[in-house]
Chain A
């Protein structure tokens, strides 16, 4: 009796989680997958099997351009979050000695996250606008005569806002992996005559790779699906796959949107797979 209980116990324990996953992850994705083969007219969809939606996407210049644009955003946002996030995490991990201050400064990094990301995004608009603070400042100190238009409603604004929104997602895993580096390794490298740069290149960077990988996964997945930031900061002028899907849903073209969502999911999973193949994050977990 006791023995059989022992054997089913793990299954029972995992049941709630499995049900939640099936119901809220697997089932919706399966539905999207099925709907992506349905037919639709201007206002309704009918169950069926057509490859028309996929054919439409793969033959359209727009979807190609949109994916390229999305990759551009992903690449830029990933680069800048890493370039900004790494020094911050490095500083926290190596230059702050007391744990208390590390925690306090870490919390300081999260302060922007105490408000909703929409508000954080919208607050850029009066700052960057044609009659915004930044342009007024530049005109005031005589750096420019005409307000600079590309600050707002441009790709620049989109990338800026997304870097602002997502840098913390890079800092957290990086900080975590930097904290786990055995300080004796650094001392040993120094004793062996390594310069500061060599210590960084040979010891710290390789050991922080899992953190970079996890941070990159966060940033890439968040940016791949973005549509609110793209829409607001570009003034509706830039395209991303998420925004394309949103537009199609808005026009009731659900099967087309579903097909796009399936492709987006596959592409994003492929990128994550590539990251995981390059860097072994298991050390981190």
Chain B
């Protein structure tokens, strides 16, 4: 905050200084009469775009590269998933660009704080992975019929003024995707001692007191649903949109597990999940892909288990604030086009995320990198993340295999349900139990 005000002060000061100078020049001096007005042809140079997003993508290296390539300034704010939604909904004046997840949209879009994105201005839009547009990846892929707030369900609005989701692609998009992944359980093979192949293992007594689940209702409930379904404890009409009865039932099961001491802790942030795993407090837990790589980067074995029931996925993208207009809006579109151009995709790809336009990301990745991260082939050389840490040695194969194997086997997405308020209430009961 202090940083921001100092910056504003500086900016105001500079602007005032510039104004004084400008007016002096305009008046002209006797020997040097004022010339006519000059036109600044590259106006976006003076633009500063303010981003809000989660720590996953509010990364300094991306900001620096973007500023270098695009010529205008970006300000990034890394927030928790909850704070990000709160600000998006309640403080529209605080941001120009919303970097958020698709499952947040049923909450954010009705606030009217985002302006629909004109798809015709996005150059690489046609190359975006169809998961986001039609929801179909390839024939027979499980993801085609996945449940929950799948991106394609909230990707388009009916028209430019609308806050209503369109079932079919239109020219007006909510978010332009740039990163997504298939999440699953992570475990410590050295402490578990065998292969984990089912979500049901999370409630296995063998791991009593050594498991963890993430404490964000929209995500945690989906992991829990995968577990109880795998164990045959419950069946759901639609896991992504549970009824009150289903929520009652699943909360009851979770509370029983908690009382029996199944969980060591709940985690809310990326760092917490890394610490729980690397310290050995937890041996099996729901996890995010880069958290697994962060554990590995510490030299600790950690497997991101491909499970027989399939993956729970999430997708993130960029949305534009309703306040943006004129050259700032132009700058935001320039950013989106730059973002899909491949450099960002390659940068995030080296941490295990997928790019919305993989063919562009490929241009910025080496062949061994592409083969390892997207093709599921053995690494031809050591895999180094964008910050210089070695993640995998030559010969390693990505857990879960290729892009098609992983994203194709997504069965649920992080979800905002019709009964969202009730879900949060039940989730609080679980935490308080």
Contacts and interface: CB of A to CB of B under 8 A. Distances in A.
Interface of A: 40-44, 61-62, 65-66, 69, 125-126, 129-131, 149, 152-153, 231, 234-237, 239, 243-244, 247-253
B405 interface: no
Interface string B90-117: 1000000000000000111011000000
The binding surface of chain B is classed by DSSP as: helix
Contact of A248 (B215, B416, B428): B428
B380 interface: no
A44 B429 CA distance: 22
B281 to A, nearest CB: 5
B299 to A, nearest CB: 15
A165 B90 CA distance: 34
A249 B432 CA distance: 16
A43 B112 CA distance: 12
Contacts of B431: 236-237, 239, 243, 247
A35 to B, nearest CB: 12
A43 B108 contact: yes
Contact of A239 (B217, B268, B432): B432
Contacts of A253: 421, 424
A249 B43 CA distance: 40
Given A237-B258, A250-B82, 13 more contacts: A42-B421, A43-B106, A44-B89, A66-B432, A69-B432, A125-B279, A130-B281, A236-B265, A236-B268, A247-B431, A248-B428, A251-B424, A252-B86
Nearest to A61: B429
> Lowest 9 A-B CB distances belong to which pairs?
A235-B265, A236-B266, A239-B432, A250-B82, A43-B107, A251-B424, A42-B420, A153-B265, A62-B429
A126 B281 CA distance: 10
A251 B89 contact: no
A130 B279 contact: yes
A244 B431 CA distance: 9
Contact of B215 (A43, A236, A244): A236
Nearest to B208: A149
A153 B384 CA distance: 35
Interface in B255-277: 258, 263-268, 275-276
B234 interface: no
A226 to B, nearest CB: 15
Contacts of B28: none
- Most chain B beta-carbon contacts within 10 A, residue among A43, A61, A149, A152: A43
B433 interface: yes
Nearest to B215: A236
Given A65-B433, A153-B264, A236-B267, A131 B280 contact: yes
Contact of A43 (B82, B111, B427, B428): B111
A62 B432 contact: yes
Given A152-B281, A235-B266, A236-B266, A43 B432 contact: no
B86 to A, nearest CB: 6
B259 to A, nearest CB: 11
Contacts of B106: 42-43
Contacts of B279: 125-126, 129-131
Nearest to B263: A237
A131 B263 CA distance: 17
B209 interface: yes
Contacts of A239: 431-433
12 contacts: A42-B416, A66-B432, A130-B280, A149-B209, A231-B268, A235-B265, A235-B267, A235-B276, A236-B265, A237-B263, A239-B432, A251-B424
Contacts of A250: 82-83, 86
Contacts of B293: none
B85 A235 contact: no
A152 B276 CA distance: 12
A69 B281 CA distance: 25
Contacts of A125: 275, 279
B432 A251 contact: no
Nearest to A66: B432
A44 B428 contact: no
A159 to B, nearest CB: 17
A235 B268 CA distance: 10
Contacts of A131: 279-281
B428 A252 contact: no
